[in-house]
Amino acid sequence: MVAQVGEAKASTAELVITWEALPDDFRLEDDPVDNTGQPMKAGALSESLEISGFIQPQMLIASNFGICATVNGQFIPKAPDWLYIPSVSEVLANRKSYTPSSCFI
């Protein structure tokens, strides 16, 4: 038996994505909500990048960190287990969320 893949259907609905800051009253949980092994993996990855000298001051590397977007009018906060952003416009201590200045999808 051979599985066949059909052509992708074109979506007629367009996504309207806007990037907004995390509301001041939004509470991010400190504990991971999914795989409890992920913080150790994220820590090991970050540490190996730091030891190798890869990490630069303008980079943002974090775990369980809020990324916020509004998609078609619906506010969507996400907290990936680990993220890498090569360059941020402002380096902040104790940053808890990130909002890109433009859409790069």
Tens digit of each residue's pLDDT, the chain (105 residues): 444 555 545 555 788 888 877 777 877 666 655 566 677 888 899 899 999 999 898 888 887 777 788 899 998 887 777 888 888 877 777 776 676 665 444
pTM: 0.56
CA 13 to chain centre: 24
Here the tokens at position 48 are 């190996």
State the Cα angle at 61 between 57 and 63, rounded to 5°.
Answer: 150
Residue labelled with tokens 């433009």: 102
Q: Taking a C-beta distance cutoff of 8 angstroms, is the pair 61, 84 a contact?
A: yes
Element (H, E) at 84: strand 83-85
Distance CA 85, CA 102 (A): 13
